Amino acid sequence: MPASAVSKADLTPTVSHTPHGEVKREELVRAAFDLIAERGFEGLRTRDVASRAGVTVATLHYYFHTKEHLIRGVMAFTVEKFRTRRLSDPRPDDLDPLAELLRILGIRGQQRRQAPEIFRVLLELTTRASRDPAIKGIMRESDSQWRQNISDILRAGVQKRVFRADLDVAAATTILGALSRGRSMLSMLRPDISEDEHVDAEVERWLTGRSKAPTR
């Protein structure tokens, strides 16, 4: 089954999608998101989610029949925060692939600094994905979209001779994905470390074959 089919089928129970209902669902998801960020899954209790959202436990279970449905809602909410513009979107022909790549990596850097709770929740969900096919499906779909975006930029860069002609686009996409995730995890362990500019300079040197010293 495609990842998108899993996520759409299992994300929420079948309740009426009224404007009021959508607001309540979002309030409950945000409350659960905040609790996971603060306490991890070990501290996630449906009664606490309901209390924080200002509703009863019965109301919570009306919108999310099970705790698993609620967690999947949190997964979708978290993934949405990471969505970036696709290279296939309308863009000028003179797009600078290197600037676009660094822009996308920079967005992640801004998120790490401004909203570290997103990464705490995402780490919790990543661990849970090994046991929950629906969460795994949502994460794989999001990762595939991100990888496609990066691959398109890298290919455009090779074609425009901005990046090295011998660049292995598939391998570089995987490396950049691992770099992005690794920097996110490192920022949780060592929030005092801020080397984005220097890392970006190394990425640029690797992709282009040209050295550019970062501004100190």
pLDDT in tens, 163-178: 999 999 999 999 999 8
Mark whether 68 and 111 lie in a shared domain.
Answer: no
* Integer Cα distance of 46 and 58 in angstroms: 10
pTM of this prediction?
Answer: 0.70
Q: Print the domain residue range for 39.
A: 3-79
Q: Is residue 203 part of a domain?
A: yes
Residue 19, domain CATH: 1.10.10.60
Tokens 């090994």 appear where? 130
Q: Is residue 216 part of a domain?
A: no
Is residue 91 predicted with pLDDT exceeding 80?
Answer: no
Give the total number of structural domains in the chain. 2
Q: Do 141 and 118 belong together in one domain?
A: yes
pLDDT per residue as tens digits for the range 30-60:
999 999 988 888 888 999 999 999 999 999 9
CATH number at residue 92: 1.10.357.10
Q: Are residues 138 and 96 in the same domain?
A: yes
Task: Mark whether 75 and 92 lie in a shared domain.
Answer: no
Mean pLDDT within 112-120: 75
Q: What is the mean pLDDT of the chain?
A: 80
Is 71 a member of any domain? yes
